[in-house]
Amino acid sequence: MTQTQGNPAGAWAEPKATAVLVLADGTVLEGFGLGATGHAVGEVCFNTAMTGYEEILTDPSYAGQIITFTFPHIGNVGTNEEDIESVNMAARPGACGLILHTDITAPSNYRATRGLDEWLKARGIVGLAGIDTRALTALIREKGMPNAVIAHAPDGKFDLAALKKEAREWPGLVGMDLVPQVTSGQRFTWDETEWVWGKGYGRQDNPEFHVVAIDYGIKRNILRLLAGAGCKVTVVPAKTSAEDIMALKPDGVFLSNGPGDPAETGKYAVPVIKTLVDSGTPTFGICLGHQMLGIAMGGKTQKMHQGHHGANHPVKDVTTGKVEITSMNHGFALDKESLPKNVEQTHFSLFDGSNCGIALKDRPVFSVQYHPEASPGPRDSHYLFTRFVDMMRQKKQKKSA
C-alpha cells in the first residue's frame, strides 16, 4: 500500500495494477506484473509442487498453459542454467505464463546465477503476483481449467475488451497439436548423465544399448537417466518416419512427453508407433508418449477436469503393490475402460483412480503417465528405466542365442 500524497487525512490508496488475468467468462483478476511485458493466451492450471519451479516452467509439456503455483514462495532460490529441462533452445518451449501469490524475493542459493524475474524477462514469460491463488485454485477445481489471457503492462493500461475477446475466442487445447512448437528441428545424440553433488553432470562413454528417443517435447533429465542407465541416445524429431527410426538399428525406442491433445498429435505419431511396436522393438513411453501408445493399441484419451500437475501424486504399481510419490503434468488421460484385452493397466492414481501406466501382454512395451525422471519420491520411480534396460538386454540375449 502507498500513502496518497497531499491527503490531509492520511488516506491510503491501492497501488495501480500492472498485470491482469482475464478469464474466458469475462472475469478479471488484477495483480502486479513480473517478467516479460505483453500478453499471452493459454489454459490456466494449478501446480502443487513446492520446489522445482525452473524445471516446471521449462517443461515443454506446459506449452499453451499458464501455471498457477499453489505454493506461495516461488523464486526464492533463483535460477541457473543447469536446471532447464527443454532441449530445443531455438524455440521457447514451456509455460506461457505464471501466477503467484507472493512477489518474488531476492535469490538465496549458491547455485543461483540470476533472479527469477530477470530469467522470466529473458525467456519472454509473462508473470503476475498478488492475487488469491487459493481462490483461483478452488475455481479451477470447481469449474475446470479455464482459457485465459495473462497481460503485463508497467503503465497499468489494458484494453480489457480486446483481452476478453481473445480469451473467449481461443479454441483451447482440445484438438490442438502443440508438438511442432517444441520438438527438435534435427536429429542429435545425447550422452550427459545425472547430476552428482560436487561433480555436476557426467558423461556416458561406454554405452551398452542404443535408444532412439522420439522428441514430442522431451525433457533433459529423461535423457540423462537413459544415458545413466547405459544407453547411447539418438533424439529424433517428432515426425520422423518408422523406417528412418528402424534404419538407426535401435535396441529400444523411447516415446517422450509433450504438450497438447494426444489424439491430434496421434494423427501422424500413432501410425509410426504402431509400426515400431509391431517390429518387436522394446518401447518405453512417458506422459504424451504413454497416451499415444494407448491410442496406438486401440484405446482412447479424454480431457480431464482439472488435470494432474504437481510433485505429490500417489500412484500404485499393480505389478508390485508398491505406492510411488510421483510428479505429474497432464490435462488429458488414457481411458482405462477403452483398453483392449492385450493391454493391461499397470499403474493407477490413488487420487482419482485414473490410468497411470500400461503394458502389452505379448510384447516388450510399456508406458507411464507420470514423470519418473522428476524424482519427487525422490527415486521411487527410477526402476522404470531399469525395466526398460532389462527388456533390451533380454531382446539382445534372445537374438544371440
Rounded Cα gap, residues 366 and 363, in angstroms:
9
Instruction: Kindly give the interhelix angle for 220-228 and 383-400, rounded to the nearest 10 degrees.
Output: 50
Reduced to 3 DSSP states, what percent helix, strand and coil does the chain have, rounded to the nearest 5?
A: 25, 30, 40
The dihedrals phi and psi of 81, each to the nearest 5 degrees, come to -85, -5
Q: Is 371 a catalytic residue?
A: yes
The dihedrals phi and psi of 234, each to the nearest 5 degrees, come to -110, 120
Following DSSP, what letter does each residue of 209-277 receive, concatenated?
EEEEEEESS-BHHHHHHHHHTTEEEEEEETT--HHHHHHT--SEEEE----S-HHHHHHHHHHHHHHHH
Q: From the centroid of its chain, how far is CA 291? A: 14
Q: Is 194 a catalytic residue?
A: no
Rounded Cα gap, residues 135 and 311, in angstroms:
21
DSSP secondary-structure letter at 79? B
Catalytic position from the list 55, 166, 324, 373: 373
Catalytic position from the list 96, 231, 287, 356: 287
Rounded Cα gap, residues 260 and 161, in angstroms:
27
Q: Is 347 a catalytic residue?
A: no
Active site residues: 287, 371, 373
